[in-house]
Amino acid sequence: MNAVKSGTTVADIMVRKVKTISQETTVNQAARLFAAYSIRHLVVRDAENSVIGVFSERDLMKHTIHCLSHNKLPGTSSVVETVAKSPVTVGPEMSVTKAAEILATRKIGCL
């Protein structure tokens, strides 16, 4: 892991072109996107194109374990049934140190 220079902000390191999916996207489709783009998070949008959550590899794993433990076929339901709603967001001017504290405190993988 690279050291971060003092004064580095979220704007300095954030991904600007995030991948988004609709709330109707299936868990299988999302898993394929994770593999195709080597990413771990997808922003989920509703019919009005508003952000409603973030679907993560962790969500995929929880979904798969839940389905398998209940003798259900994993992956066929939509991501909206599993997605983490109300994603945590921060402004681009926030220091990366503060952003890292939020990630650690909330035990989340992205902002």
For 69, the token pair is 């433990």
| Residue predicted with more confidence, 84 or 77 | 77
d(CA 56, CA 64): 12
- Per residue in 21-64, pLDDT (tens digit) is 999 999 999 999 999 999 999 999 999 999 999 999 999 999 99
pLDDT surpasses 60 at 1: no
d(CA 96, CA 2): 13
Percentage of the chain surpassing pLDDT 70?
Answer: 96
Q: Give the CA distances from residue 12 to residues 7, 37, 94, 95, in Å, rounded to whole numbers and listed in that order.
A: 10, 22, 10, 9
Tell me the pTM. Answer: 0.82
The predicted pLDDT at position 35 comes to 97
Beta bridge partners of 45: 22, 51
